[in-house]
Amino acid sequence: MNITVYPDQPLFKRSFMIYGHFIEHFHRQIYGGLFDPTNPLSDEDGFRMDILEAMRRIHVPILRWPGGCFVSAYHWKKAVGEKRTPFFDKAWRVEDPATFGTDEYIKLCRKIGAEPYICTNAGTGTAEEMSDWMEYCNLESEGEFAKLRIRNGHEEPYSVRYWSIGNENYGSWEIGAKEADEWSRLVLEAAKMMKHVDPRTELSAAALPDIDWNVKLLGRGRDFLSWISIHKYWNLMAEENDFADYNETMAYTNDLETDIRKVRGLLMAFGLEKKIRIACDEWNLRGWHHPKVLSIQQGITKEEYLYPRDKNDQNEDYTMADAVFTACYLNTLNRNADIVGMACFAPIVNTRGCIFSYDQGIVLRSTYHVFNLYVNYMGDEILSSFESGGESLTVTGKAGDVQTVSAMDVLATRKADGTICIAAVNKDAENVHDLVINAGLKGLLEARVMTVNGSETTSYNDIGHTDVTLTESDWMQGEGTLQLQFMPHSVNVVQIRRCPV
């Protein structure tokens, strides 16, 4: 493949929030995960210090909480103050001790330097309850709930800017699911009350790549919304923990842009593409495994519905397939960064997350290294480029369908100092692929390559087992075009700059 980069033709700047993450009260994401007060690796506030350090290393820009399906029966007032009220979580059918609530979440965000993004209860909750939550977080001292925050020891307002009205309230699996007309009316009333509390906030609402749903939502809520939220998991495994293999996963890369393109079109049809942006605020290749709990037929014994969730934490399942897919989707988000301003990988810790925790430490899964690569080595300005000569692969999808996918996925960006940064993802399971780069820079150049890879498509990281790593080459000098080879199933970033004088 050949790529010609036009550094004098920037397309747009991407928002750093596309590298955001998500955390929910599910399995070991919070309790026994990042919040574990009895663990000797935790700090004075109960947070695992090794997890916090890993989150800081990838500069988590925004963290969505508390759900997810959990939030649709969550009443935030039970989890603030000294006296907490444990409650039965009707989504996931476990008792939540309520020891991690709003105050702990804000403390977490401040420890890692992330913007908080609160998702409200639009299932069993009300517009008033949502706005009460905003009062607690954002008002200085006016009213009952700002005063409650102050009594709870938090004098200064939290100033939470980003709020989501609901989760997946369009879905039959969600507690308090809504029809399109019903949903648009609730969003309108909730948004009005929340904006009356703090007009500076930016509101999102649960949406679908669906005309009927969005016509009603945008028709009523357009004046109050800054974001429209869409979720996507490709390899759905709620009932059966059936992992797509490497080539089946590559077939999914033909579907990376479908939902974004549909929602972009709807926003353009309403003339809202300059006002409302897309938040892909819950996404992952793999859907979470939670059999017989969000279905009509419920499990009776914990062996049926609770203990199978441990299968989410089998580290050998998170391989180079996950890494390559994640990189391809991050490329897609960058290409659409004129309208996609936020994305949240779901979740960040345990389950299908990029960090796995156990009592004595953590494991950085393959996807963690991809975020490290993109966050720390890519540029924030998307450049115009021209690609030619790319090869294709024939793969068979999960449903047995034969598909043709591109062998390479490339994206050109630029850092503020002028360094050209090119993401080059080789999807081919077996073959090396060449990339000839004309970076559009004159004179003597130097380049280096950062790579995430393992020896096999099935390479993974686990306790005492590290197959997938991020490696960095030395700077290499040259002039004109560069010709580089990329190993099979690899994720790479090439940095090119003029040689220092």
pLDDT digits (tens, 9 = 90+) for 101-158: 999 999 999 999 999 999 999 999 999 999 999 999 999 999 999 999 999 999 999 9
What per-residue confidence (pLDDT) applies to 500?
A: 80
What per-residue confidence (pLDDT) applies to 480?
A: 86
Residue with tokens 């480029």: 385
Kindly state the tokens that stand for 76: 């935030």
- Cα angle 116, 119, 121 (rounded to 5 degrees) comes to 145
What per-residue confidence (pLDDT) applies to 352?
A: 98
Across 401-481, where does the E strand assignment appear? 402-406, 408-414, 420-426, 433-438, 444-453, 461-462, 465-466, 469-472, 476-479
Residue 73 pLDDT exceeds 80: yes
What per-residue confidence (pLDDT) applies to 214?
A: 95
How far apart are the C-alpha atoms of 437 and 5, rounded to whole Å? 8
Return the percentage of the chain with pLDDT > 70, whole number.
100
The DSSP 8-state label assigned to residue 15 in this structure reads P
* SS3 category, 118: strand
Residue 46 pLDDT exceeds 80: yes
In which band, very low, low, confident or very high, does the pLDDT at 61 lie, cut at 50, 70 and 90?
very high
In which band, very low, low, confident or very high, does the pLDDT at 489 lie, cut at 50, 70 and 90?
very high
Task: Please provide the average confidence, as pLDDT, over all residues in the chain.
Answer: 97
- For residue 61, cis peptide bond before it (omega within 30 degrees of 0): no
> Helix 320-335 and helix 366-377: axis angle, to 10°?
30
Return the percentage of the chain with pLDDT > 90, whole number.
99
Structural domains present in the chain = 2-9+380-498 (2.60.40.1180), 13-377 (3.20.20.80)
> Using H for helix, E for strand and C for coil, what is the string for 160-197?
CCEEEECCCCCCCCCCCCCCHHHHHHHHHHHHHHHHHH
Q: Which amino acid is at 13?
A: K
Kindly state the tokens that stand for 132: 């009460």
Residue 478 pLDDT exceeds 90: no
Residue 501 pLDDT exceeds 80: no
The DSSP 8-state label assigned to residue 417 in this structure reads T
How far apart are the C-alpha atoms of 279 and 343, rounded to whole Å? 6
pLDDT single digits (tens) 184-212: 999 999 999 999 999 999 999 999 999 99
In which band, very low, low, confident or very high, does the pLDDT at 479 lie, cut at 50, 70 and 90?
confident
Cβ neighbourhood burial of 151 (10 Å; 0-12, 13-18, 19+): exposed
The DSSP 8-state label assigned to residue 475 in this structure reads P
pLDDT single digits (tens) 390-401: 999 999 999 999
pLDDT single digits (tens) 276-313: 999 999 999 999 999 999 999 999 999 999 999 999 99
Cα-Cα end-to-end distance for the chain: 31
How far apart are the C-alpha atoms of 128 and 410, rounded to whole Å? 47
DSSP assignments along 60-74, one per residue: --EEEES-SGGGGG-
pTM value is 0.97
* SS3 category, 258: helix
Kindly state the tokens that stand for 46: 């109960």
